[in-house]
Amino acid sequence: MATIQDVAKLAGLSRTTVSRVINDHPYVAEEKKRLVTKAMEELNYVPNSSAQRLRKQATETIAVYVPRITNPFFSQLVESMENAAAQKGYQLILCQTRYKKKQELFYLELLRTKQVDGLVLTSIENNWDDIKPYLAYGPIVLCNEYSDEAEVPVIHLDQVEGGYIGTKHLISQGYKRIGYCSGNHKSSRVAGDRRIGYLKAMKEAGLPVYPEWYYDSAYSVSDGMRIFSIIESQDNKPDSVFTGSDEVAAGIAKAAKKAGWRVPDDLAIIGFDNQPLAELMDLTTVEQPIDTIGRLAMEKMIEEILSKRPQRRKRTELPLKIIQRSST
C-alpha cells in the first residue's frame, strides 16, 4: 500500500505538498500539482482514511438508528437518508435497536468511541436522560420520533393532526363506532400524539370511546389478523378502525375478507403511511412525507456536524394528508 511518503518521493516533493494537492489547498504551483497527480496515479495511491480520521478527528460517517430495517416505514426513511448522505460524501452505519433499550445503548457507544460523527434516531427506546450524556461526544438529530426534553433538532410529522384527520375522515363517512389500534410504546410521542388526535376528533363529534375498542401491540400484518379475530368475537363491535400502520390495516382487511366480512360495509379500515401495500390492498390511509423528513434530517445532521456549535432545540413539523381508497 502506497503512502503519502511514497508519492512524495516519486514526485520529488515533500509530504506537505502532496497533502496540499490531496486537500485542494491554494498555493501549489500547477506544475507540481501535475507531478503529484501523476505520482499518485502511478502508485495507485489513495489516502488512508483511518489516518485521516485520526488526524482530523472526524469520520464522515453517521449512525442511523431504526428499530428494524424490514419495517417498510423505516427502510424508506433509511433509503432517503442514505441518498442524502451519499450526496454529501457521508457514509451510514445501520443500527437496528430491535426495540431494545440495551441494543440502543450499545450503539450509542459508536459516538463515544468516535466511530461516527453524529447520530440520527428514528425511534427512542431509552429515557432521554440516558441518551443525553452522549451529546457531549457529538450531535444527535431526531427524525420521526420526538421528545420534549431533547434539546436537539427534531424533524417530525404532526401526529396529533394525523390521528385527528384520520378519525375525522371516518366520522365524515358516517362511521360512529370507531376503534383504535396502537403500537403501544409507552414513551412514544408518535403513538401518544396520534391518540390525542383521535380522542380530540371523537370528542368534537360527541362519539363514545370504549376501552374494548382500544387494541394494542399492533405493529405487523399478523397483529392485524389477531386484532380482527378479537373484533369478531366482541359483542360490542366497532364499525370501523383507525390503525397505526398500513401493515396492521392490511392484516385486519385480509382477515375480515377471509371471514366473509365486507370492507368497508361491515368494517371500515384506515391505514397509516401510504406504503405500496396500501395501494395494493385498496386501503384509505394517512400519507406521511417519509422521503422528505429523511432528507431534511440528514441535511440537518450534516449541518450540525460542520457548524461545531452546541446543539439547539429546533422543531420542524411536516403536515400529513388523507389518501382515500375503498376501505372507508
Partner DNA sequence: TTGTAGGCGTTATCAA
Partner DNA sequence: TTGATAACGCCTACAA
**Residue ranges binding its own copies (CB under 8 A):** 46-51, 53-54, 57, 59, 61, 68-70, 72, 75-76, 78-79, 82-83, 86, 91-94, 96, 103, 109-110, 112-115, 220-221, 247, 250-251, 254, 276-277, 279-281
Range in contact with DNA (rule: CB under 7 A) among 40-48, 125-133, 157-165, 298-306: 40-48
Which segment (41-49, 65-73, 123-131, 197-205) binds DNA by CB under 7 A? 41-49
Residue from 9, 22, 196, 261 binding DNA (CB under 7 A): 22
Please answer whether residues 95 and 64 qualify as being in contact, where contact means their C-beta atoms are separated by less than 8 angstroms: yes
Does residue 52 belong to the site contacting DNA (CB under 7 A)?
Answer: yes
222 — phi, psi (to 5°)? Answer: -70, -30
- Candidates 46-54, 160-168, 281-289, 290-298 — which segment interacts with DNA by CB under 7 A? 46-54
CA gap 272, 245 in Å, rounded:
4
Cβ-contact 287, 246 below 8 angstroms: no
Interface residue with DNA among 9, 37, 43, 47 (CB under 7 A) is 47
Minimal distance, residue 44 CB to DNA, in Å:
12
**3-class DSSP state for residue 155?**
strand
What is the grid cell recorded at 104? Answer: 440502543
DSSP letters, 224-277, are: HHHHHHHHHH-SS--SEEE-SSHHHHHHHHHHHHHTT--TTTT-EEEEEE--HH
Cβ contacts of residue 105 below 8 Å, gap of 6+?
A: 126, 130
Residue 277 binding partner per list DNA, its own copies, none, with a CB distance cut-off of 5 to 8 Å that depends on partner kind = its own copies
In terms of CB distance, is 105 or 207 closer to its own copies? 105
Q: Of DNA, its own copies, none, which one sits near residue 27, judging by CB under 5 to 8 A according to partner kind? A: DNA
Which three-class secondary structure state does DSSP give residue 178? strand
For residues 324 and 28, give the distance between their C-alpha atoms in angstroms, rounded to a whole number.
62
Question: How large is the angle between the packed helices 30-43 and 15-22, nearest 10 degrees?
Answer: 90
Query: Which three three-digit cell numbers place residue 190?
Result: 408518535
The rounded distance, in Å, linking the Cα atoms of 275 and 316 is: 23
CB of residue 84 to DNA, shortest distance in Å: 24
Residue 48 interacting with DNA (CB under 7 A): yes
19 binds DNA per the rule CB under 7 A: yes
Residues 53-82 touching DNA, rule: CB under 7 A, are 54-57
Closer of 247 and 304 to its own copies (Cβ): 247
Q: Which of 9, 15, 132, 176 binds DNA (CB under 7 A)?
A: 15
20 is an interface residue for DNA by CB under 7 A: yes
Q: How far apart are the first and last CA of the chain?
A: 64
The answer to whether residue 23 forms part of the interface with DNA (CB under 7 A) is yes
Q: Write the DSSP assignment of 298-326 as a string of letters.
A: HHHHHHHHHS-SPP--EEEEE--EEE--T
**Longest distance between any two alpha carbons in the chain, whole Å:** 88
Stretch that binds DNA, among 8-16, 86-94, 229-237, 267-275 (CB under 7 A): 8-16
Contact between 31 and DNA by CB under 7 A: the answer reads yes
- 46: β partners: none
Binding site for DNA (CB under 7 A): 1, 3-5, 13-17, 19-20, 22-23, 26-29, 31-32, 45-48, 51-52, 54-57
